[in-house]
């Protein structure tokens, strides 16, 4: 994991990171992580789980799982949200 993170930290632009992720992951994996981030953004806006599930096209179970990671995970989502909101 450390070598992967190190490689990601060498990338300097959103385009470079996007290209790296597209080479690294399948289309489904990219869709899944994009949906997770969209869920985080909507949870941060206090949107209901049901409305998020409908908007993103996922189950409420997926929304609940992402919410659990948001509130009880390693604070990665919270760190990114905080920096984006500055």
The model carries a pTM of: 0.91
Report residue 19: phi and psi, to 5°.
-60, -40
Quick check: 37 and 24 in contact, CB under 8 A?
A: no
Task: Identify the pLDDT of residue 29.
Answer: 98
Quick check: 51 and 63 in contact, CB under 8 A?
A: no
What are 24-76's pLDDT values in tens digits? 999 999 999 999 999 999 999 999 999 999 999 999 999 999 999 999 999 99
Q: Is 86 exposed, middle or buried (0-12, 13-18, 19+ CB in 10 A)?
A: exposed
Q: Return the beta strands (E) in the chain as ranges.
A: none
Task: Identify the pLDDT of residue 12.
Answer: 98
2-84 is classed CATH 3.40.50.261: no
Q: Where are the domains of the chain?
A: 2-84
CA distance 17 to 55: 26
């Amino acid at each position: 994991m450390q070598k992967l993170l190190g490689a990601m930290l060498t990338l300097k632009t959103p385009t470079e990171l996007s290209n790296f992720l597209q080479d690294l992951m399948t289309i489904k994996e990219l869709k899944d992580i994009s949906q997770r981030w969209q869920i985080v953004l909507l949870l941060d806006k206090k949107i209901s789980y049901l409305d998020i599930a409908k908007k993103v096209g996922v189950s409420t179970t997926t929304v609940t799982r992402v919410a659990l990671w948001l509130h009880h995970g390693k604070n990665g989502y919270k760190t990114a949200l905080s920096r984006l909101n500055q």
